[in-house]
C-alpha cells in the first residue's frame, strides 16, 4: 500500500511555553499523554501515547519573550519542499517568522498567513507512520479563526492543495467552512471569521480524548481556565476549549458515542433549541406510542 501524500497533512504540534515543567504536569492529566526527553536534544521533550510521539514541548525562546510572544501551540503542516513552500507562501502574501532550517529529524520553517495566523511547515526525514484516523491522545481537528476566511481559504488552498468538504451556516455568526486533503473527502478542520473578542487570527488544535467533560474538569483543577464548553457538536461528540496555566490555548474533542458519526468541532455553534422545544421533541415518541396503544 503506497504511503499517504505528505502535502497538506497536519504532522506535528509543538507547545512553546514559559514554564515547560509546569506544562509537563498539566497536560498529561488532561490528555493522557506521557512526557519523555528527546534523545537528540535534552531541552526538548516529547508528548507521547505509548511509544507514539504526539508533539513537542519546549521553552519559549528568549527573543520571543522579549518581543512579547505569549505561550502558544504551533501547528505544522507537511510539505514535500520547505523552501519552495516558503517562497510560494511569500508570493501569496504570507510572512516568514523563521526561515527554512534543518533539524536532526527534517527541515522546517515558521510562517504567518496574510491575516496574521502563525503556522509551521515541515518535511520530516521519515514519512509519518500514522494514518488519517486519530487515536486517543492524537490531534483530531484544526480550526482557523481569522479576519477573512474567504481570503484565508484561497491562501491555504493554493499552498497545500486543500479542497472544500462542507460548510455550516452559523446564522449571524457567518459560515463555518470545512476542508480536507485533495481527493480525500474527509474533513480535517474548519475556518471562520473570528469574533471581535478574539484579539488576533489563530489556529487552534483539538486533542482527541475519551471525555471532554472529564478533560475540562481536570484542566480547571490543574489551574487551567475553561473558555468554551463542554458542548455537543454535530455528529455526536463533545468539545471544550481551555487556556493552560501559562496562557496557551488548547481544545479537546471527545470521541463520538457508539452508533454516531465522528464529530466535527467548530469554534462557534448555533444557539441551542429552547428547553420547551427539546422537551416536546423528547415527549413526541411517547405520545405516538400511547395513541397506537389506544387504537389497538
pLDDT computed for residue 283 by the predictor: 43
Per-chain mean pLDDT for the chain? 85
pLDDT above 90 as % of the chain: 67
Distance CA 236, CA 202 (A): 26
Distance CA 15, CA 61 (A): 12
pLDDT computed for residue 68 by the predictor: 84
Using pLDDT thresholds of 50, 70 and 90, give the confidence band for residue 287.
very low
Spatial contact of 247 and 254, defined as CB atoms under 8 Å apart: no
Strands 106-112 and 118-124: antiparallel
Distance CA 138, CA 17 (A): 20
Q: Which residue has the higher pLDDT, 265 or 137?
A: 137
Q: For residue 131, count other CB atoms closer than 10 A to its CB.
A: 9
CATH 3.40.50.300 fits 10-254, yes or no: no
Residue 284 has pLDDT above 90, yes or no: no
Strand order, beta sheet including 52-59: 34-38, 41-49, 52-59, 10-17, 72-78, 118-124, 106-112, 95-103
User: What average pLDDT score do residues 154-176 get?
Assistant: 92
Picking from 111, 59, 60, 54, the residue whose alpha carbon sits closest to that of residue 82 is 111
Using pLDDT thresholds of 50, 70 and 90, give the confidence band for residue 133.
low
pLDDT computed for residue 134 by the predictor: 72
Q: For residue 251, count other CB atoms closer than 10 A to its CB.
A: 25
Note the pLDDT tens digit of each residue in 174-185.
899 999 998 777
Question: What's the length of the chain?
Answer: 296
Angle at 246 between CA 123 and CA 223, to 5 degrees: 125
Note the pLDDT tens digit of each residue in 250-283.
999 997 654 444 445 544 443 333 333 344 444 4
Residue 110 has pLDDT above 80, yes or no: yes
pTM check: above 0.85:
no
pLDDT computed for residue 63 by the predictor: 84
> Domain segments of the chain: what residues?
10-254
Using pLDDT thresholds of 50, 70 and 90, give the confidence band for residue 135.
confident
Amino acid at each position: 500500500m503506497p504511503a499517504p501524500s505528505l502535502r497538506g497533512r497536519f504532522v506535528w504540534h509543538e507547545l512553546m511555553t514559559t514554564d515547560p515543567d509546569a506544562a509537563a504536569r498539566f497536560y498529561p492529566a488532561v490528555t493522557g499523554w506521557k512526557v519523555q526527553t528527546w534523545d537528540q536534544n535534552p531541552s526538548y521533550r516529547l508528548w507521547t501515547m505509548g511509544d507514539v510521539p504526539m508533539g513537542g514541548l519546549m521553552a519559549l525562546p528568549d527573543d520571543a519573550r522579549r518581543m512579547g510572544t505569549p505561550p502558544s501551540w504551533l501547528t505544522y503542516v507537511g510539505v514535500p519542499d520547505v523552501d519552495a513552500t516558503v517562497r510560494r507562501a511569500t508570493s501569496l502574501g504570507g510572512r516568514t517568522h523563521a526561515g527554512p532550517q534543518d533539524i536532526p529529524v527534517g527541515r522546517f520553517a515558521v510562517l504567518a498567513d496574510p491575516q496574521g495566523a502563525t503556522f509551521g511547515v515541515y518535511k520530516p526525514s521519515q514519512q509519518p507512520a500514522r494514518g488519517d484516523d486519530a487515536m486517543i491522545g492524537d490531534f483530531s481537528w484544526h480550526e482557523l479563526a481569522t479576519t477573512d476566511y474567504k481570503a484565508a481559504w484561497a491562501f491555504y488552498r493554493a499552498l497545500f492543495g486543500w479542497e472544500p468538504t462542507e460548510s455550516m451556516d452559523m446564522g449571524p455568526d457567518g459560515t463555518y467552512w470545512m476542508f480536507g486533503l485533495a481527493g480525500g473527502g474527509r474533513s480535517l478542520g474548519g475556518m471562520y471569521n473570528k469574533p471581535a473578542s478574539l484579539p488576533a487570527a489563530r489556529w487552534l488544535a483539538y486533542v482527541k480524548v475519551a471525555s471532554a467533560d472529564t478533560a475540562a474538569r481536570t484542566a480547571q483543577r490543574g489551574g487551567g481556565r475553561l473558555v468554551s464548553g463542554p458542548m455537543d457538536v454535530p455528529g455526536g461528540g463533545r468539545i471544550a476549549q481551555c487556556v493552560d496555566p501559562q496562557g496557551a490555548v488548547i481544545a479537546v474533542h471527545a470521541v463520538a458515542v457508539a452508533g454516531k458519526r465522528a464529530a466535527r468541532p467548530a469554534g462557534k455553534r448555533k444557539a441551542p433549541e429552547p428547553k420547551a422545544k427539546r422537551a416536546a421533541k423528547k415527549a413526541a415518541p411517547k405520545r405516538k406510542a400511547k395513541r397506537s396503544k389506544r387504537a389497538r
